[in-house]
Amino acid sequence: MMNTARDVDVRGEEVSYSAGKTTLKGYLAWDASKPGPLPGVIVVHEWWGHNDYVRRRARMLAEEGYVALALDMYGDGRNTQHPEDAQKFVMEAVGNAAVAKERFLAAYDLLKQHHATEPSKIAAIGYCFGGAVVLQMARLGAELDGVASFHGTLSPQGPPAQPGVFKAKALVLHGADDPLVPPEQVAAFKKEMEAAGVDYSFIAYPGAQHAFTNPSATERGKTFNMPLAYDEAADNQSWAELQKFLSALFADS
């Protein structure tokens, strides 16, 4: 999954920023050996919160030539390993749509203003909860070149996508055996995207379940009796699809 074809000098930076009265703690990563400015990619965490997994993804994106910001949707960089806590954090963050949008846009502004970022080239990706977040931000008209969802839920949190509002190109990477995103939800999402005229791609991985990109998923699924499972093949294939998507996206912008 990682770029080993060239020397890289990935820098990591802890960042503190705010949305309203909430302090948010994120992580920026970029390759200082690559001439800038570079396209920016926001990375939205799973419902577990801002943890080492989302930081690793940010560094992987930096190795591919992007300025990546692993944002914080919960405040104070909170994270957990227990689903009850995760559910509480999710409701606090996205139960109020205005709060969720404010926190996302605070990260968006931070990334655009970073010295290594090309501010006219910004995309967002997300995992599970984060996948739902990036799709929702696109529905709300966020100025993003593209969004990519890895095993995220697909239903809109409010009105469906509208023509001319959902401007980002979209890539959805889905586990075909994910019980949290059943076929009915997939069909409704495709209908929504087509009705809004969204330029989107949908890829389903046979046999893949929820959280298929996270190596910790299988163990957590067993611990908490949840339908989670890591799938190495789907993980690698979906990461390769993301790289193709981003390369084409920023070549066109």
Please calculate the CA angle 74-215-139 and round it to the nearest 5 degrees. 45
Which residue matches tokens 């995992």? Answer: 127
For residue 4, being part of any structural domain is answered with: no
- The CATH number assigned to the domain holding 22 equals 3.40.50.1820
- Cβ atoms of residues 20 and 12 within 8 Å: no
What does DSSP assign to residue 168?
Answer: S
**pLDDT level of residue 253 (50, 70, 90 thresholds):** low
Nearest to 135 by CA among 177, 181, 178: 181
Query: Does the pLDDT value for residue 4 go beyond 50?
Result: no
Collapse the DSSP code of 244 into the 3-class scheme (helix H, G, I; strand E, B; otherwise coil) and give the result: helix
pLDDT tens per residue across span 108-142: 999 999 999 999 999 999 999 999 999 999 999 99
Name the percent of the chain lying above pLDDT 70: 97
Q: Note the Cα 250 to chain centre separation in Å.
A: 17
Instruction: Please tell me the distance from the alpha carbon of residue 196 to that of residue 192, in angstroms, as a whole number.
Output: 6
100, two tokens: 């969720």
pLDDT of residue 216: 97
Handedness of CA 207, 211, 213, 218 (dihedral sign): negative
Please calculate the CA angle 33-57-94 and round it to the nearest 5 degrees. 130
pTM here is 0.96
Q: What would the mean pLDDT of 226-244 be, rounded to a whole number? A: 98
pLDDT of residue 231: 98
pLDDT tens per residue across span 170-214: 999 999 999 999 999 999 999 999 999 999 999 999 999 999 999
Q: What would the mean pLDDT of 157-165 be, rounded to a whole number? A: 96
Strand pairing of 67-70 and 38-44? Answer: parallel
Paired with 117 in beta bridges are 38
Query: Does the pLDDT value for residue 160 go beyond 80?
Result: yes
pLDDT tens per residue across span 48-72: 999 999 999 999 999 999 999 999 9
For residue 21, being part of any structural domain is answered with: yes
Query: Does the pLDDT value for residue 88 go beyond 50?
Result: yes
Q: What is the largest CA-CA distance in the chain?
A: 47
pLDDT of residue 184: 98
For residue 5, being part of any structural domain is answered with: no
Across the chain, mean pLDDT equals 96
Number of domains, the chain: 1
Instruction: Please tell me the distance from the alpha carbon of residue 198 to that of residue 46, in angstroms, as a whole number.
Output: 25
pLDDT of residue 7: 77
DSSP H or E run through 135: helix 129-139
For residue 165, being part of any structural domain is answered with: yes
pLDDT of residue 36: 84
Instruction: Please tell me the distance from the alpha carbon of residue 227 to that of residue 200, in angstroms, as a whole number.
Output: 27
For residue 1, being part of any structural domain is answered with: no
Q: What would the mean pLDDT of 26-40 be, rounded to a whole number? A: 95
Residue 216 lies in domain: 10-252
